[in-house]
Every structure is written in C-alpha cells, then in structure tokens.
Amino acid sequence: MDAHFKPEHYHRPTDLKTASLLLARRGARVIAGGTDLLVTRPADTETLIDVKELGLSFIREEAGLRIGSTTTFSDLLRSPLLERYPYRVLYDAAGELGHHNLRHIATLGGNICNAVPSADAPVALIALDAIAVIHGPTGERTVRLDGFFKFVRETVLKEGEFLKEIAIPVQPEAGASFQKLGRTKVDIALVNAACRLSLVGGVISESRIVLGAVYPTPLRARAAEDVLNGNEFSHALAERSAQVAADAAMPISDHRASSEYRREMSYVLVKRAIIKAHERAEGTL
Ligand SMILES: Cc1cc2nc3c(=O)[nH]c(=O)nc-3n(C[C@H](O)[C@H](O)[C@H](O)COP(=O)(O)OP(=O)(O)OC[C@H]3O[C@@H](n4cnc5c(N)ncnc54)[C@H](O)[C@@H]3O)c2cc1C
C-alpha cells in the first residue's frame, strides 16, 4: 500500500458538467469501482471524483449498442443484448474478467481508462470497431477505441475529460470470439485475443484481429487481417494469419511469463479465435 495515497476531497457529482469541472482541478482523478485505483493508489491524487451517480450505467440499442462507462461486468453478463453475435465477443470477455465478486464492482469504463495492456474488454471492443464517447469541459468528442490508447496507462483523455460511454456501431453479419490465457482462471491475461469475421458466399469479406498483453496498448493486427480478407476459410489460412499476428506482437518477459511464451501463445490464441469466429459466422455454433 502506498502511504502517500491520501486524497483530501471526495465528490460524487450527479451531472456531467459538474463532473468535468471538478475533474479539471489539480490532482483530481476519477474513481468508478476502485478495483484498479485502490490497488495502484497514485500518490498525486488530491481529489476523487466518483462517477457512479452520473446515470452512466446502461446498455441500450441505438445505432448498434451504447454502453455507459459505469456499467459493471455483471451488468454486461446479464444483458440479453450481448447474447447476440457478434456482440457476444464482449459477453465472453466480461465472463473472463477476474472473479464473480469483482465483476459486481468493476466497470467497463475503468477497465478501458486504466489502460493496461492485459485488460480484457478493450480487445473485444476494438474487434467490434467500438468508439469512445468522451465528455469534457468543452462538450463531447468521439475517438475510435483503437486510437484511444497511447501507451501503458496513457490515453488520449485530456484535463477535465472522462469516458462517458462506448458506442458499438451496427455490425454486419459476423462471428466473433474472445480467447484468454491466464496463470489461473481468475488471473489477468498473459495473452488475450479477439477475432471478428464476416463471410460472403463462403469468402471472408472483413475481419478484425486484436491482441492484448503483448504490446504497450491493445494491438490490432492489420497484416494478419489482410491474410484472411478475400479468402475462403481453411485451417491453413487461420494458421498463416495467426503467425503474422504473433510476429507483430512485442511481448515483455515478467514474473508471469517469458516473451517467447507469450509470442507462442499469441499464435495459439489468435488461431483459436479465428476458427471459433468462423464457426460462429457460419452459424454452426
Ligand atoms: C483481483 C483482481 C483481478 C482482476 N482481474 C482482471 C481481469 O481478469 N481482467 C481485467 O481486464 N482486469 C482485471 N482486474 C482489473 C480491474 O478489476 C478492471 O480493470 C476493472 O474493470 C476496473 O474498473 P473499476 O471500475 O474498478 O476502475 P477504477 O479502479 O475505479 O479506475 C481505474 C482507472 O480508470 C480511471 N477511470 C475509471 N472510470 C473512468 C471514466 N469513466 N473516465 C475516465 N477515467 C476513468 C480511474 O481514474 C483509474 O485510473 C482485476 C483486478 C483485481 C483487483
């Protein structure tokens, strides 16, 4: 525990404007579920802005899906909207996050804004072409989620800004899959991966391949997508694409796993994700 984490002020605003005004103050930091923040306990925090009374806990259909930033992972797992393909990829990622108790508290917005490479939801959301809706002192702006992350624990959020909601555009008929490998079932990912693909007449017309925990930010493996696009699915094609994705990874070695192991597992998980996404796109699962 960091002895210097002693915020002097705590606010629980009920409107977005007040929240961004408070957040623009020196040393102010958002707290949602606190499952990351109360572990990292950044010493420069003077004021906590609790965002849970802003009315941002919702999942609704609106030109695709809209999910408020304080929606918990348990809320995601209860939503029938996420049972449909390809949104199911987010449901699958939500079910892999931590353990049951944690999922009641941990929010989607916290998982994204914490901006650690191993986070589960961003990988699934980038595969769905999700967009971050950001609220700040000058109003609202949107950023594609694959451009939201700048580095480990660094995002495009500026002073006074916070994540309001996630917009997932209407999806073409597609199958998608999320895969994760952790040391144990409740651990953070050593590697995670998502794939979404659409089929037209048996040919892969569009695909997304995203990896987590192998790069400072979630990694969209565009060259691996190019291997799939315009081709008929085969296991050999999935293996070629997975190899290209694994080659793009730049994993670190740490106490959890070596970089070599992470790269090898990137190949395995991307291959599984492609095969599963294809099965789902064909409607066979
Ligand atoms: C035991 C344990 C197991 C875990 N397992 C996993 C796992 O398997 N997979 C995984 O991905 N994560 C895991 N986590 C990490 C964590 O639970 C998630 O990242 C969670 O979703 C964070 O959400 P929160 O609401 O608790 O965020 P908080 O801790 O409240 O906030 C996290 C960060 O995001 C910022 N923030 C929060 N909301 C917003 C917002 N709306 N706008 C701007 N900034 C915001 C905060 O200022 C803070 O910097 C685990 C954590 C623990 C303690």
Question: Any idea what DSSP says for residue 152?
Answer: T
Mean pLDDT of 5-15: 95
Tell me, in angstroms, the distance from the centre of ligand 1 to residue 198's CA: 31
Specify the pLDDT at position 20.
96
On average, the pLDDT of the chain sits at: 95
Residue 81 lies in a domain: no
Residue 212 lies in a domain: yes
Please say if the pLDDT value at position 248 is more than 90: yes
Mean pLDDT of 191-207: 96
Specify the pLDDT at position 85.
82
Residue 257 lies in a domain: yes
Tell me, in angstroms, the distance from the centre of ligand 1 to residue 226's CA: 33
Model pLDDT for residues 73-126, shown as the tens digit of each residue: 999 999 999 988 889 999 999 999 999 999 999 999 999 999 999 999 999 999
In which domain, by residue range, is 190 found? 175-281
Atom of ligand 1 nearest to the CA of 39: 53
**Does residue 179's CB lie within 6 angstroms of at least one atom of ligand 1?**
no
Specify the pLDDT at position 197.
96
Report d(CA 224, CA 271) in Å as an integer: 11
Specify the pLDDT at position 184.
85
Specify the pLDDT at position 186.
83
| Cis? peptide before 86, omega within 30° of 0 | yes
Residue 228 lies in a domain: yes
Mean pLDDT of 192-211: 96
To the question of pTM greater than 0.95 for the whole model, the response is yes
Please say if the pLDDT value at position 206 is more than 60: yes
**Does residue 32's CB lie within 6 angstroms of at least one atom of ligand 1?**
yes
Tokens of 199: 């089929």
Q: What is the full DSSP assignment across 28-94?
A: EEEESS-TTHHHH--TT--EEEE-TTSS---EEESSSEEEETT-BHHHHHH-GGGGSTTTHHHHHHH
Residue 77 lies in a domain: no
Closest alpha carbon to 265 in 183, 199, 169, 177: 183
The separation between the first and the last C-alpha atoms of the chain, rounded to the nearest angstrom, is 46
Please say if the pLDDT value at position 228 is more than 80: yes
Tell me, in angstroms, the distance from the centre of ligand 1 to residue 241's CA: 31
Model pLDDT for residues 13-62, shown as the tens digit of each residue: 999 999 999 999 999 999 999 999 999 999 999 999 999 999 999 999 99
Tell me, in angstroms, the distance from the centre of ligand 1 to residue 120's CA: 10
Residue 168 lies in a domain: no
Report d(CA 38, CA 260) in Å as an integer: 32
The β-bridge relationship of strands 65-68 and 203-212 is unpaired
Report d(CA 239, CA 266) in Å as an integer: 11
Number of domains in the chain: 1
The CATH number assigned to the domain holding 233 equals: 3.30.390.50
Neighbour order of strands in the sheet with 219-220: 175-182, 189-200, 203-212, 219-220
Specify the pLDDT at position 171.
82
Mean pLDDT of 163-171: 95
